[in-house]
Structure 1
């Protein structure tokens, strides 16, 4: 009985491509009393693995929290696996605003002490005494009430690229940090104001609303389904979006665009930008915001030190990062001293948004220098090889650029390439071409030929 992944991410990506089937990215959660989380976990893994479902799920005695990628044709069957449990009958599945067939490449179901690390002692208050749930239209209405205080219960790297207008956005790295900060900040108004809270999918507010009611806040509300469900309702009902910018997500996309407003800046040059990347130095992997120009200049790195490292032979890079633990830095963007344009954070304040069209002008000079000739399909980590579907002829010796939201803008000269397992000097339209790369690429990265 297989209860764990046996395929690598690269092998899974290949199978997804061969299947040629659209997938849905979705999330859901439910608080419930689960007697045997390990058995629950194993049952879910077996049911989901049979459907080709992928993603990251945490289960605990208190419930389930999941972010998944499911074949579109198996959506109903996937829902059936949930509704076998009474506490998940009729459960809301938050479907992503933007779809990506490779949002998740492994099925991970883990047993945890809690489904969200909130740092709370649940025995000290009634976790079922939650705030009033608001749909998008109701949420928009209450935001117009001058007696309302709206709080973003996400982390600083999430709210920096997108949030509701006028929201309090705590400068915190974790959810548990925000609870006492907000409690102390709003102590004097807890009996008079409407405390309205939101997060990505709603799960953080489920516990937070009960926590604040326990501490004497009289009028507590929460956005039902979080930003994801709010956006769906706004589009379906033709409402004005009070959320501006991007919604940060925790799969490889790192963000879904909600409106054309850009409210953040590149951490390296200060230009308007809301593209999150992870540092190209695998031993660093710091999450930060980087524009196309800085990505080109820094080759996707966050610092000169990391830039020096990625130019070393791959084996030397692996040797240097052996035993290095950087997991606690991955989402602490803006914390590195190497990033010179860290945004000044304030709890509230005027939002100076720049429209996407304006930022496009900044990047125009790069567009006219390149011709699109292909699209990335896979990156095979173990051998450092990238795979592309070629749309126009490409030759050994051509200067190329590989561009993507996470990859950045990498420049190189083709020294060697393969088509159908054989070394070639020319790849033609329709060929599946591979070549060795010293950096990781993602599916749908664009392959350009540099023409000047």
Structure 2
């Protein structure tokens, strides 16, 4: 992985593995991240862990080494990208029922899930298999910004709505289906659910869009990939890039992702630079005139207020015990 002046990394990962005491693991992991100055969002559940974090190259390397050294997570794969700075201001390590909210907690991808398709193999499949069904399992705001050429997309606001769309997918039974998402985690449950519902030729893009961009140059991915940090969107395609999204305000072609300046709206949509300035970062006139509208900083990203954030709150005196 080539790097020139970027001294930080952003790493994306997930791992389905049994964690007997998620609360205890959460405390240990939280302290370890503080010690490394690794920041981001990490979800821990009895079924595994899921995270996107940033830190210095040295910190991220140490973090990945430590996670993989745990026998439970030895099979974890990290997607790594270089960046000039932290992409998160805070560290949030939380225990939740699932590592991605799906409403499919009865499914265990370690027992049954769609077979993996590696990026280069998928690249060939796109070109050579005419009857291939490429299924995007992400939310509307994600696939509207970018998606694979000829992909089937679903009208869903959240991944937990995916099971409701199964009747729309009945037409593809018997066909070869490859699911994809940002980093692969949603596909573990989505492909498992399709198999449970009688679809028998189901695969998943291993590592998702991010890994495909890193290993297969992102060919035939149209638009940008939405990401869950302060970058909002990243380029994927190095071969035949194009823009598929339109400005939410004026409908001109634009892939400039913006978080609406009105915090009560907070929608994430493409807004071109001209409209961004004219609307002061708002997605509508109503939002522009809203009394709580945030000052537009030209980026369309607004870091949540820290409100006295202290990552060591409740952990005073314990940091020195971390290995």
Q: Shorter-chain TM-score: which interval? A: 0.7 to 0.9
Distance change (3 Å), C-alpha of 1:35 and 1:283: same
Distance change (3 Å), C-alpha of 1:277 and 1:112: same
SS of 1:129 mapped into structure 2: coil
CA contact (8 A) 1:150 1:168 kept: yes
Question: What are the superposed Cα offsets for residues 399-447 of structure 1, whole Å, 9 maximum, x if unpaired?
Answer: xxx864326xxxxxxxxxxxxxxxxxxxxxxxxxxxxxxx989xxxxxx
Question: What are the superposed Cα offsets for residues 139-182 of structure 1, whole Å, 9 maximum, x if unpaired?
Answer: 1222231231110011111001111101001121011212331x
Distance change (3 Å), C-alpha of 1:266 and 1:57: same
CA contact (8 A) 2:247 2:270 kept: yes
Distance 1:270 1:40 in 2: 47
Q: 2:37 is matched with which residue?
A: 52
Q: 1:38 is matched with which residue?
A: 23
Give 1:318-337 correspondences, 5 Å limit.
Answer: none
Q: 1:248 is matched with which residue?
A: 226
Report 1 or 2 for greater relative contact order, CA contacts < 8 Å, sequence distance ≥ 6.
Answer: 2
Distance 1:100 1:154 in 2: 28
CA contact (8 A) 1:58 1:112 kept: yes
Q: 1:257 is matched with which residue?
A: 235
Q: 1:3 is matched with which residue?
A: none
Distance 2:21 2:69 in 1: 16
Distance change (3 Å), C-alpha of 1:21 and 1:193: closer
Distance 1:27 1:297 in 2: 35
Distance change (3 Å), C-alpha of 1:218 and 1:284: closer
SS of 1:186 mapped into structure 2: helix
Q: 1:85 is matched with which residue?
A: 70
Say if 2:201 is the partner of 1:222: no
SS of 1:137 mapped into structure 2: helix
Q: 2:141 aligned to 152, 157, 165, which one? A: 157
Extract unaligned runs of 5+ from structure 2: 305-323
Distance change (3 Å), C-alpha of 1:249 and 1:234: same
Distance change (3 Å), C-alpha of 1:51 and 1:440: closer
Question: What are the superposed Cα offsets for residues 376-414 of structure 1, whole Å, 9 maximum, x if unpaired?
Answer: xxxxx9xx9xxxxxxxxxxxxxxxxx864326xxxxxxx
TM-score by structure 2 length? Answer: 0.84
Distance 2:45 2:153 in 1: 29
Distance change (3 Å), C-alpha of 1:159 and 1:65: same
SS of 1:57 mapped into structure 2: strand
Extract unaligned runs of 5+ from structure 1: 1-19, 311-316, 322-380, 385-401, 408-438, 442-452
Q: 1:109 is matched with which residue?
A: 93
Distance 2:290 2:133 in 1: 47
SS of 1:208 mapped into structure 2: helix
Larger Rg: 1
Number of residue pairs aligned between Structure 1 and Structure 2: 296
Q: 1:195 aligned to 159, 177, 190, which one? A: 177
Say if 2:300 is the partner of 1:406: yes
CA contact (8 A) 1:275 1:405 kept: no
TM-score by structure 1 length? Answer: 0.61
Kindly report structure 1 stretches of 4+ aligned residues shifted beyond 6 Å: none
